Structure 1
Amino acid sequence: MALYIKAAEILEKVERKKGAVKTLVYDSKYQNIKQLFALVCETQKYSEVLQEIIDTTRLLKDTKLRIHLAKALVYDLLIGQGVKCGGAWKAVMLKHRSRLQAALARIKVRQKVSRNEDLLPPSMQNIGGVTIPRYVRVNTLKTTVEDVIDYLKREGYSYHGTASRLEDLYRLSGKEFLKDLHLRDLLVFSAKMDFHDHYLYKAGHIILQDKASCLPAHLLDPPVGAHVIDACAAPGNKSSHLAAIMKNKGKLFAFDLDAKRLSTMSTLLLRAGVTFQQLANEDFLKVDPLCPAYKDVTHILLDPSCSGSGMLCLSDGGSEEQRRDPERLQALAAFQLRCLNHALRFPRLQRLVYSTCSVHREENEEVVSACLQNNPAFGLVRLLPEWPERGLEPLAQCLRASVTKTLTHGFFVAMLKRRLQTPGSSMELSSRVTPPAQEERAETSVEDQPPPAKKKKRNRKKPKKQGT
């Protein structure tokens, strides 16, 4: 019953604009975050349909349920996988199931559709029936990709090698799986596959993380032994990914203003085998870039609070509710820009990845453009030239992600790199700081290229005078 109580509380807070779904879900401290997040998102997506069913059946009057709780229960009863609680609530829902099902059937007949998904507005439908696969990141602090593949094969899973194109992921079903075509430590399964009770997940050998969410750490790619900041770190999946890339060597400073989220993150990192992190319940904007503790920080991952519009409805267009709230978007963008400007003040910073789970230009391209105007010492890096979805013009160096074009949640990623300075400058960027693996994946834009070296003049010896 706790699942539906939490879902109802979050749905009510979202409706009253008390926070974004993603933030509210993680703040709830509910044990199964994924389950709660999915229920809230799907209930919100079908909200109008559920409201009509509840109104026409007079469910609230007959059951004394509150509207948000009723919506969550009716969603799971009619559209989800069944009510996940026992006791009085389940008995009530089963008692009214026949007339609730009849109400849903009448709506489908009236709208001349056969699938539940077809009842949604076009902007909220998975175009062409596309669903996001189950992505599983192998935690290389505890195991290897090859060992996980062998383990799953012994359990009856069918491995089909590395995907060669995005279309390969559409065909996955049952226990079939592939290695991702872009990220070396990511495995891909059918959308219905669930690993929350699997040994590999409970032991921290695999991390359940959307592909788009894996991009920031993958692209930042700090070298082993580096000093790195994860500026807005909780709930911790990106921090654990950074730790795996760095092989638990160096320093990882992780900040988050929310003590509850940081506590959850500490548990996640412990399970993942991360040992070199320094967690701080601190506002990143109040961290002093000139503090001696951060004098060797060269890489920063900045994933600040955002509208979460890429997570809410799994569509390219973002949610209608987010579009109708320009003031909130403006406030979020201003906060994001402050964070970005602040991060670039760390004196030895070489690379920074900025990411959001938003689909809105205001939080993405416009924030990055404003930051570059304020910080001419930094330029954009062109990321993954083969990636199918680019940042909106003129920032095509950046990446976007979406359910229809990349089979992920909506996401945005930009990388800023310090420009080369004149020889002898304290800010000169040595070629040694960039790992070879990263240079293969990140193609630097023309504006980041150093000027051509001047040709040295040849010293020609004067011929000796011949004696007379």
Structure 2
Amino acid sequence: MDFYHRSALILDALDAKKGSVKGLCMSEATKSRKPGEGARFLKVVVEVLKYRPHILHLLTATKLLAQEPTLFVPPSSIAAASAAIKSGVAASASKALKQPKKYQKQAPTPLNLASVMVHDLMFAKRGLTLPKEHKVRKKLEKYKPALDKENEREKRRRKVATNEGLQIALPEKIASSLSSIGKGKKREHDADRFAEEAGAGLEAVGEIRWMRVNTLRWSVEQAVEWFEKGGWEMFEDVEEMLAAAQAKPKVFALDAHIEPLLALPASVSLPTMSAYQDGRLLAQDKASCMPAWVLLAPVLADAEEALANGLDAGEGEEKKRGKGLRVLDATAAPGNKTTMAAALVAGEPINGKVTACERDQGRFKVLKDMLKRADAKNVQPMNVDFLSLKPDDPKLKNVSHLLVDPSCSGSGIPSRLDHLVPSAPEEEQLSRIRSLSNFQIAILSHALRFVGAKRVVYSTCSIWEQEDEGVVMRVLGKKEFREMGWRLAPRDEVLPTWERRGRVEACGGDKNIADSLVRCLPEDGTNGFFVACFVKDEYAEPIPAPPTVAQPTRAAEAVEVEAGDGENVAAAPSNNKQGGKQAKKAKSSVSRVARIAKEEVVGKAPEPTPLAAKETGVGAKKADKKLSKKQLYLLKKEELKRKKAAQE
């Protein structure tokens, strides 16, 4: 029953919008660390979601939940008390009965537990994976005739011949990927693949499978030689490679924009490649490689020039102290961008190190696994909330380059399987985007305040302007950062030959700002993505404020720290005492983050006018609560005049 309970908990988390399908499945799997369990959760949960509308119909038509009100309710508190009573421990029994809420947190909802079990009873080839004498199985099988009868009736009504006709259809590429999950040893390989892909939608996009050469283990030249020895043919152009792949599957190409990146046909099976299995090749979407490359490309160019001129790229005070370049990844899990940054700065002449922050304990384990797989020994992982770090901490004063890839909506990842989950009402979605945008502003602002910061890259796997250009424009509009010398790096420092740039209209009509930004869409052969690079010139004159862009009218809301997104793997509801403590800690952290985000967006405003207090709730106690309509009108008119004068 444990697997059914945990699968139902994943469905509960999906209903509560706590993460993506893949992220929640992989996060739940990390709790037990059983080989292949992540892939198993993913396959079962997706199958249940495909049949979910039909399963709900079956449950309603047969009145199964009404007739068996306790069958799918794990009586945690009652069971705990009964066990205590039987063992003669009265105190334990009393405690269990007095704390039902504590025990109920461990149980899934009856509807989702019933959905998982009815799916296996009706549609899984293996049937229910419970002993034949299990009381739940025996009782549930009594309803099989009624369920079968209603299932056949529904097929006739919908005019379909097979059970597959009752499903929600999956995109062909995703369906074939899921159906390839095997058993035993093969499932372990598949689990590794899905665990890595779940972080940021790393599946093949369109016709291309992007693979990053892990230069911590070998060089690009060695990788090319390995492919050619294996009978692979190399092409200089990705389009030529795709054309050749129609007749010959063993082809690959070097990427034109990012040096350690290779393009392979989407049909490539990763578990069969030894270089993938041992971490020499890593599956990483091209767009996901852009942040680290944009952050560190100038450093690499300087190092290359220094070597060409016979100079030591590390000369200077930093070299004398035995310290190289310091990079900080603010939200590191699952670790793809982190390990890429580590690979780019490892060894001489840069001799760089990366500090990787991840506040969630489950995701921190995923990060450490990724660091081990990539052999990233120059990374210091920290199970800490980035926002809790002090920008002027002496231990972090040498951090000069920061990666900021915060939680986002994940709207740029086409393979999140979110179409299997009912979408939230439009107003709820807009509210969520506003909350995420406020959090993104808070974390980016925090990064720009680090005393040694010289270059900061902000990225999301979102296609929404509110999370992309909107965040950049609001941060550029802060007088604090303009006076510190922060500006956007020009196009010639940010993938200059990449064609798709920022949206001009979202940048207040400023084409130069839009040109400094990078956008990706699935038609580019990547996931949807956004990249902006901030650079600091503290000796330059403060830059003028950017063009005004219409901003959200509501004050910052409670922040929703969602995962599954971009490189995020959300944690499923915890089913143990330790998990409860983690949940409380996370709740406290989210509350603090919400406060910080609100301060970043709203700012510490002067004493609010009565109208402002009425609209925002700030200082409401000091505002006159009995204003007449005429007074409100005059105040509003005065407020509009004040705003207009401020803009002029």
Deviation at 1:246, TM superposition (A): 0.4
Q: Which has the higher strand share?
A: 1
Q: Quickly say closer, same or farther: Cα 1:233–1:380, change in 2 above 3 A.
A: same
Counterpart of 1:69 in structure 2 is: 116
1:17-416 counterparts in 2 under 5 A? Answer: 17-21=17-21, 23-28=23-28, 29=30, 35=39, 39=43, 50-54=51-55, 66=113, 69=116, 88=129, 106=159, 131=206, 133-156=208-231, 158-163=232-237, 165=239, 168-169=241-242, 172=245, 174-196=249-271, 198-221=273-296, 223=299, 225-248=324-347, 249-311=351-413, 313=415, 321=423, 324-374=428-478, 375-376=481-482, 377-381=485-489, 382=491, 383-393=494-504, 394=507, 395-403=514-522, 405-416=523-534
Judge conservation of contact 1:53–1:103 (CA < 8 Å) in 2: no
2: CA distance, partners of 1:337 / 1:201: 36
Counterpart of 1:452 in structure 2 is: none
Deviation at 1:220, TM superposition (A): 0.8
Q: Quickly say closer, same or farther: Cα 1:151–1:378, change in 2 above 3 A.
A: same
2: CA distance, partners of 1:333 / 1:193: 37
Q: Deviations over 1:132-162 (max 9, x none)?
A: 5221111011112232233233334x32322
Q: Quickly say closer, same or farther: Cα 1:256–1:108, change in 2 above 3 A.
A: farther
1: CA distance, partners of 2:229 / 2:5: 40
Q: Quickly say closer, same or farther: Cα 1:50–1:252, change in 2 above 3 A.
A: same
Deviation at 1:57, TM superposition (A): 7.2
SS at match of 2:502: coil
SS at match of 1:192: coil
Q: Quickly say closer, same or farther: Cα 1:42–1:25, change in 2 above 3 A.
A: closer
Q: Quickly say closer, same or farther: Cα 1:104–1:190, change in 2 above 3 A.
A: farther
2: CA distance, partners of 1:196 / 1:104: 43
Q: TM-score, normalised by structure 2?
A: 0.52
Judge conservation of contact 2:295–2:533 (CA < 8 Å) in 1: yes
SS at match of 1:266: helix
SS at match of 2:270: coil
Identity among equivalent pairs (%): 31
Judge conservation of contact 1:50–1:71 (CA < 8 Å) in 2: no
2: CA distance, partners of 1:41 / 1:415: 38
Counterpart of 1:125 in structure 2 is: none
Deviation at 1:309, TM superposition (A): 2.2
2: CA distance, partners of 1:200 / 1:72: 38
Q: Quickly say closer, same or farther: Cα 1:106–1:198, change in 2 above 3 A.
A: farther
Deviation at 1:86, TM superposition (A): 8.5
Q: Quickly say closer, same or farther: Cα 1:118–1:87, change in 2 above 3 A.
A: closer
Q: Deviations over 1:338-357 (max 9, x none)?
A: 10000000122111111111
Q: Deviations over 1:22-41 (max 9, x none)?
A: 65345321656984797599
2: CA distance, partners of 1:415 / 1:70: 49
SS at match of 1:149: helix
Q: Quickly say closer, same or farther: Cα 1:171–1:6, change in 2 above 3 A.
A: farther
Letter in 1 for 2:382: A
Deviation at 1:8, TM superposition (A): 5.1
Deviation at 1:67, TM superposition (A): 6.5
Q: Quickly say closer, same or farther: Cα 1:13–1:195, change in 2 above 3 A.
A: same
Aligned residues: 397
Structure number with bigger Rg: 2
Deviation at 1:301, TM superposition (A): 0.4
2: CA distance, partners of 1:335 / 1:15: 22
Q: Quickly say closer, same or farther: Cα 1:297–1:143, change in 2 above 3 A.
A: same
Unaligned runs of 5+ in 1: 78-82, 120-129, 426-468
Letter in 2 for 1:378: W
Deviation at 1:69, TM superposition (A): 3.3
Deviation at 1:3, TM superposition (A): 8.6
Deviation at 1:101, TM superposition (A): 12
Q: Deviations over 1:285-343 (max 9, x none)?
A: 1101111111111100011111222225579x9x9836552222211111111100000
Judge conservation of contact 1:135–1:209 (CA < 8 Å) in 2: yes
Q: Quickly say closer, same or farther: Cα 1:87–1:58, change in 2 above 3 A.
A: closer
1: CA distance, partners of 2:416 / 2:400: 34
With CA pairs under 8 Å and 6+ residues apart, which has the higher RCO, 1 or 2? Answer: 2
Q: Quickly say closer, same or farther: Cα 1:4–1:333, change in 2 above 3 A.
A: farther
Calculate the aligned-residue CA RMSD, in Å. 4.5
